[in-house]
Amino acid sequence: MALVVAVGFGYETARQARDLRLAWVPSAIDDCHNFIQMMFKQPDNRMIICGTNAFKPLCRQYQLTSTNDYQIVREFSGVAISPYDPRQNGTALYVPETDEIYTATFADFSGSLPLIYRKPLSGPTAELRTKRYDMKFLSDPHFVSSLDDGDSIYFWFREAAAEYNNCGTAVFSRIARVCKSDQGDHKPDADTWTTYIKARLNCSLSGHVPFYFNEIAATSNLVITERNGKKTELIYAIFNTPSTALRASAICAFSMEDVRYIFNNGPFKVQKSPSSLWLPVYKSNLPNPRPGDCQANSKTLGERAVNFVRMHSLLSDAVPNYFEQPLVVDTSLGYKFTALAVDIVQSVSGFPYNVLFVGTNDGRVLKYVNVAQDTKVKSVLIETVHYFADQLPILDIRLVHSDEANRKTVSLLISTNDQLKLVPAHYCANKTSCRTCTQLQDPYCAWDLIHNRCVSTASG
């Protein structure tokens, strides 16, 4: 897990600071703080913390001692793990089985060198990255999140759409995949992925001319639901319209089964010349093995397979919205959606509901629940709460489940740029009658007939 945790965690030396003054003039003195960007929990009571380190990214590994102190084990460059500038975006995750960090961020001061990168912390695994200055891989991206999925790592982001260039400019939302087994190709100096491929994410209102929400802004935790004996893995995501258009936000959901199918079976999209149309390339015209597939040894791949995936990384089919239409569409002019967390709550009837907590750029948290069953959509807004008086944009929402004295509780950890708040996930006790309690349609809440009060179903 990666989480922004602090500002001003100072670990640069005087020599490093002196080197920095020669290399870079920040836009503001506050930028010279060490903004902690990533924290990775490791086995054996170790952790890795990475920060901007006054525009000279640095990582440190710490060991928890028997006296509950943290001792420095080692430090190493944080370039390509933490961004240089706290305003640059990025995502990262740690894979304990292979002791590797996977990141998507920027590897320069100006934010003109985006990359998806693997940093091995031990063992023979190769460092790999996306090709430098190649807009076929990443074109002015905004990275959102990452997900460990078996033999693959997925990255969620938005970027300038190369396939739309002949019609103008547009931003599309993407999901990209790399394989953990990727070792680069057979060339001695090869340091670029042989498995990097990407697809568009489709969050749209259906119609003769669909209305697309093109700019992904946040994703939820992985949500595993079970209905009619079938388990479904879902990722919910926030999408916004461009700032130059009518302001609107939407929430769509994507099945990991659909994602895997598109990446393993979908046709690629190819443009033969700059003025040509982008056309699909189907299985019969693809190299063997299929470009982007996870291989036991990528160094044995032929030149045709390697060159194809490096020239044509875009898949033709978009990943569909699991519910076929957005769960939520909000056209409020006063705010837009910025953060998202999803909890699975089993109601007193035994049905598992997905409850969505949505943060906005003016400090409020909206709580929705999809009360429809199966793959249908009927979202209900349960409540809206303002947690920050100064209307700070909410950057992140995390669920905190605890079980103290056999009493289960659910809380939300809400973060802004400079504040953290731990708040309840529900306010059942505020409802004083059976009618107001049940009218909430909140799966967390139920009316206790014995004690005549509105109680949490999660407390047992």
Is 195 in contact with 179 (CB distance < 8 Å)? yes
Residues with Cβ < 8 Å from 416, sequence gap 6 or more?
A: 363, 388, 392, 393, 394, 395
Residue with tokens 């998507």: 104
Closest CA to 253 of 210, 224, 211: 224
Closest CA to 5 of 43, 34, 46: 34
The three-state secondary structure class of 262 is helix
Is 158 in contact with 105 (CB distance < 8 Å)? no
Q: Taking CA 209 as the corner, what is the angle to CA 204 and CA 213, rounded to the nearest 5 degrees? A: 25
CA distance 354 to 245: 30
The two tokens of residue 384 are 């809206």
Determine the distance from the C-alpha atom of residue 175 to the mean position of all C-alpha atoms in its chain, rounded to a whole number.
10
State residue 425's pLDDT score. Answer: 95
Residues with Cβ < 8 Å from 40, sequence gap 6 or more?
A: 1, 2, 47, 48, 49, 92, 93, 94, 101
Neighbours of 52 (CB within 10 A): 24
Is 237 in contact with 219 (CB distance < 8 Å)? yes
Peptide bond into 291 cis (omega under 30): no
The three-state secondary structure class of 112 is coil
CA distance 123 to 95: 13
User: Per the domain annotation, does 227 fall within a domain?
Assistant: no
Query: Pairing state of beta strands 58-64 and 114-120?
Result: unpaired
* pLDDT by 10-residue block (mean), the chain, 460 residues: 47 40 54 90 95 95 93 96 94 96 95 96 91 92 97 98 84 98 86 96 93 97 84 96 89 98 96 88 89 91 90 96 95 93 89 94 95 79 91 95 75 93 94 94 93 83
Question: What is the enclosing helix (H) or strand (E) of 80?
Answer: none
Q: What residue numbers bound the domain in which 422 lies? A: 333-426
User: Per the domain annotation, does 157 fall within a domain?
Assistant: no
Closest CA to 171 of 159, 179, 162: 159
Neighbours of 268 (CB within 10 A): 25
Neighbours of 121 (CB within 10 A): 18
Residue with tokens 């948290």: 365
User: Per the domain annotation, does 127 fall within a domain?
Assistant: no
What totals of helices (H) and strands (E) does the chain contain, helices first? Answer: 4, 30
Q: Positive or negative, the Cα torsion across 331, 171, 106, 128?
A: positive
User: Per the domain annotation, does 396 fall within a domain?
Assistant: yes
User: Per the domain annotation, does 378 fall within a domain?
Assistant: yes
H-assigned helices in 161-265: 256-265
Question: What is the enclosing helix (H) or strand (E) of 37?
Answer: strand 36-42
CA distance 128 to 294: 15
Q: Positive or negative, the Cα torsion across 347, 366, 379, 382?
A: positive
Residues with Cβ < 8 Å from 306, sequence gap 6 or more?
A: 185, 194
The three-state secondary structure class of 308 is helix
Query: Left (φ > 0), alpha (ψ -120 to 50) or beta: where does 389 sit?
Result: alpha
Q: Give me the amino acid identity at 306.
A: V
Report the C-alpha dihedral over residues 279, 190, 76, 3, rounded to 10 degrees. Answer: 20
Length of the chain: 460
State residue 16's pLDDT score. Answer: 43
User: Per the domain annotation, does 246 fall within a domain?
Assistant: no
User: Per the domain annotation, does 143 fall within a domain?
Assistant: no
Is 70 in contact with 60 (CB distance < 8 Å)? no
* Residues facing 279 on adjacent strands: 270
User: Per the domain annotation, does 22 fall within a domain?
Assistant: no
State residue 146's pLDDT score. Answer: 98
Strands (E), 180-285: 197-200, 204-205, 211-212, 215-219, 223-227, 230-240, 249-255, 268-270, 279-281
If one counts the domains in the chain, the total is 1
Residues with Cβ < 8 Å from 39, sequence gap 6 or more?
A: 1, 2, 3, 5, 47, 48, 49, 50
Residue with tokens 């670990």: 11
